[in-house]
Amino acid sequence: MGYQRQEPVIPPQRDLDGRETLVSEHEYKEKTCQSAALFNVVNSIIGSGIIDFSLVLLIKGGALSGTDTYQSLVNKTFGFSGYLLLSVLQFLYPFIAMISYNIIAGDTLSKVFQGIPGVDPENVFIGRHFIIGLSTVTFTLPLSLYRNIAKLGKVSLISTGLTTLILGIVMARAISLGPHIPKTEDAWVFAKPNAIQAVGVMSFAFICHHNSFLVYSSLEEPTVAKWSRLIHMSIVISVFICIFFATCGYLTFTGFTQGDLFENYCRNDDLVTFGRFCYGVTVILTYPMECFVTREVIANVFFGGNLSLVFHIVITVMVITVATLVSLLIDCLGIVLELNGVLCATPLIFIIPSACYLKLSEEPRTHSDKIMSCVMLPIGAVVMVFGFVMAITNPQDCTHGQEMFYCFPDNFSLTNTSESHVQQTTQLSTLNISIFQ
């Protein structure tokens, strides 16, 4: 079976100064420049968030073991049982991410088309189900059929550019809309008892580990040093974008903030409608990155890492079809992000890279990498256990497809603010005229 083909293709390397590579010369003949790989990483991080120290640790583990995939690294370190566990996690994370991206695309783009003058909001051709199916057939499936991830470099550049544009829209609305939205009770409390649930969502957002070896392999002359520089640049860009998104979103809506931020905005806001369109396109362009990983896991486990053209097409179509069907049945994004974060992303980020490095490295215990690994591993275990329990016992509210109460002047008085009903209604009426149109 595929497991037996996971032996390293090059001898182990101990020199991590960047002079050696993890990829044998006969593999990955289609390479990409460092800038294209940067946008692939940024697209994966933003479509799926910020990464951390463990990403570089992961590649170092590959260097120490002489392996060039996440699966082969764990196979070399922990044997067949570790290999199977990692394969399951590495498949489930991007697969569930594909489901979440479909949910976002359906929710977001349906509101865009419903805002077109003269269009019946109940028209089946602008509903989330039709949009998910159409975007799958026309965009995500054709892009996912590429055999080399380097070909997604330009697509990732477009996605990153659109993300920057969306950030500008969210920042503008934080200034113009934020003062008119009532603040929730204890809105500025730093953390509440269920804060660990947020760690699960952030783990979902922070991860890029499942496709890091794919992007690394697409580099021309890949080395650990070059990968570290690439990751540092990607982190700077991603941290800036993610912090501003989170800050502007929460400053605007405080405790009313939904798992999908665009669910908070009113449908008659033309600027946000344009932002929704850009967001939907961005998510669609990020989707193929996740499909590449699911297909690679299947190829490694069942086909020894090599897929014929026919099997490549069949497996891609099957994975996307199942993800699409599931996304048509689920419409609440928050619980999807939480469970995927605590059950899949947390071990992939915190636990497995740290465990691999601790077992492979011959550095002294006081080495900074070993100290950080010893810190990350138990943190990951705690987040995984308690995050799962709290996600089940204290699920997030979901207002999928509903207009928020502050979008209706008649309901605006139901909030706990110190202003009178007349003042609130007047404010919102002015808001509708001066901002949303």
Split at pLDDT 50, 70, 90, the class of 403 is confident
**pTM score, whole prediction:** 0.72
The whole-number pLDDT of residue 13 equals 42
Split at pLDDT 50, 70, 90, the class of 275 is very high
Q: What is the pLDDT of residues 195-217, one digit of tens each?
A: 766 776 676 666 777 667 877 87
Selected residue with higher pLDDT from 22 and 304? 304
Share the mean pLDDT of the chain. Answer: 78
The whole-number pLDDT of residue 405 equals 84
Domain ranges of the chain: 34-395
Q: What is the mean pLDDT of residues 380-409?
A: 78
Split at pLDDT 50, 70, 90, the class of 246 is confident
Selected residue with higher pLDDT from 379 and 129? 129
Selected residue with higher pLDDT from 41 and 426? 41
The whole-number pLDDT of residue 6 equals 40
Selected residue with higher pLDDT from 132 and 393? 132
Q: What is the mean pLDDT of residues 386-414?
A: 71
Q: What is the mean pLDDT of residues 419-424?
A: 38
Q: What is the pLDDT of residues 222-235, one digit of tens each?
A: 787 888 788 778 77
Q: 34-395: what fold?
A: Amino acid/polyamine transporter I (1.20.1740)
Selected residue with higher pLDDT from 217 and 310? 310
Residue 395 has pLDDT above 80, yes or no: no
Residue 379 has pLDDT above 90, yes or no: no
The whole-number pLDDT of residue 129 equals 92
Residue 278 has pLDDT above 70, yes or no: yes
Residue 24 has pLDDT above 60, yes or no: no
Residue 4 has pLDDT above 90, yes or no: no
The whole-number pLDDT of residue 335 equals 77
Q: What is the pLDDT of residues 118-128, one digit of tens each?
A: 888 888 888 88
The whole-number pLDDT of residue 114 equals 85
The whole-number pLDDT of residue 1 equals 41
Q: What is the mean pLDDT of residues 55-82?
A: 88
Split at pLDDT 50, 70, 90, the class of 433 is very low
Split at pLDDT 50, 70, 90, the class of 418 is very low
Residue 90 has pLDDT above 80, yes or no: yes
Split at pLDDT 50, 70, 90, the class of 282 is very high
| Percentage of residues of the chain with pLDDT beyond 70 | 77
Split at pLDDT 50, 70, 90, the class of 19 is very low
Selected residue with higher pLDDT from 404 and 410? 404
CB 195 within 8 A of CB 335: no
Q: What is the mean pLDDT of residues 229-251?
A: 81
